Structure 1
């Protein structure tokens, strides 16, 4: 298994990002190695209801490997109380996308507030997301949302993004459950225009409550997008892939610290190579778990 270096880390929060048309200010947390310059950056988009304070098992491992991690809190965070029945909920997917653009637009301000001015490499910035966050990241990589007639919507892609990682990303097709079709109609991505390089990570046994399809639903971001793409299917992984959002949180149905480490290290290895930080890092990543089972790895150019 890929083993990251063990850097000491610091975290700074809350940092406020200037925004318009948002009911609550955009706050984020920055976690970084104590030492080092020319550091690559991960902007991370959380899953539904989470916040900048979640996903520590991933963030801790990424920063120990030498990344600066920026975590915005989106409006669907449970701390804001905007539920499925709130009339504002239907547009949160757009606000999420705007959040990521806002972070990227003000990255220099964010780094200044975090005391990291001069320590990052602004040419090495990647986007990573889990679940709803993965669909949010996909939009900046070029994916679009289909309307009721099946026509692709607006283009929210971001120029200059070298690579991204989609963890447990929403699938495509008219297979949403009645609840999802009513409350989450934006969960109809079109990946045919997602041309930016990306790693897609899916759980082998991830059965979504939002789709009538099986775990293959989470492979659409890989199979239906143009290359270059990489795929990793995590052995026995369910939607939280061992507990990526936190140790022993209620949503975790497949608790396994080794599985979380596998996901975190896969992201590090992929981004080291994709961002030209370390040649051959992804090529050398074997995808083996501590129990000996190997993740399924595929690629297309």
Structure 2
């Protein structure tokens, strides 16, 4: 399916240090299109963690009939905000608020992208996040951090890729610089979600628990939840954050294809009720459900 992109769409958010910019990717044909909010992770590159990243996923989902909305969060290296900015360096609360602002401003986005007029279904919204973006997505799905709930009931499903886990298994570096991760509470994360974890994703800079830490959102949250464990996958899942990214430690087009196909099938099932995603065959991983 042919797709188009419009970028940047700029939203003026009162109190935000800079305007919220996002990229819109969508198919050129079709109506009743479901909406995916894609939250970027962090990383060493300047622009992968922004509206310009995650092309292997955003392009694929748009080709498969979704409208993909990618904001640039305040934590992005591309913005290079001063460390003295309130909420720095990770802006965990602002990141989740960005996504709710995007939903609030769909009318404004449609005016900026008139090709979407009368073509998307605003009742069918899901959130997807990778790494720190997974933390953001988890907040929208009902996870609490520092006792704060930012759950958005307009979000009907989520996909968490290499997301953050329990707070008592983080490293000293995380305790010192990202203390909010110590307070993760998954007990009220009731929205349906697919948790994607790599069995080789040790993330030693984040956790002392090893790869199992990234499966915590499945094990510690109430159902309905699904867990996809990808064999041999490290934190980049074969290269989901960009094409030919040097910081991907497990380069694998086959693994990226498995992520594309399985997440698409899951999201279609949750938002459109048109497929049993577990029927999509793959030899790349195992599936558990509750």
Q: Give the TM interval when normalised to the shorter protein.
A: over 0.9
Alpha carbon RMSD of aligned pairs, Å?
1.6
Residue of structure 1 equivalent to 2:99: 100
Bigger fraction of residues in helix: 2
Deviation at 1:91, TM superposition (A): 6.4
| Preserved contact between residue 32 and residue 66 of structure 1 (Cα < 8 Å) | yes
Deviation at 1:178, TM superposition (A): 1.7
Instruction: Tell me the TM-score normalised to structure 2 length.
Output: 0.93
Deviation at 1:111, TM superposition (A): 2.5
Aligned: 1:250 with 2:246: yes
- For residues 256 and 38 of structure 1, the distance between their equivalents in structure 2, rounded to whole angstroms, comes to 33
Determine helix, strand or coil for the equivalent of 1:122: strand
Residue of structure 2 equivalent to 1:54: 53
**What is the number of equivalent residue pairs in this alignment?**
282
Range that drifts further, 87-96 or 112-121: 87-96
Residue of structure 1 equivalent to 2:141: 141
| Preserved contact between residue 84 and residue 183 of structure 1 (Cα < 8 Å) | no
- Gaps in structure 2 of 5+ consecutive residues: 44-48
Deviation string 1:109-134 (CA, Å, 9 cap, x unpaired) is 21231221111011111111111011
Higher relative contact order (CA 8 A, sep 6+): 1
Deviation string 1:181-204 (CA, Å, 9 cap, x unpaired) is 111111232111100011100111
Range that drifts further, 263-272 or 79-88: 79-88
Matches within 5 A, 1:174-213: 174-188=168-182, 189-208=184-203, 209-213=205-209
Residue of structure 1 equivalent to 2:46: none
- For residues 252 and 149 of structure 2, the distance between their equivalents in structure 1, rounded to whole angstroms, comes to 37
Residue of structure 1 equivalent to 2:25: 31
Residue of structure 2 equivalent to 1:219: 215
Change (3 A) 1:84 1:212: farther
Deviation at 1:54, TM superposition (A): 0.3
- Gaps in structure 1 of 5+ consecutive residues: 1-6, 147-152
Residue of structure 2 equivalent to 1:229: 225
Deviation at 1:106, TM superposition (A): 0.7
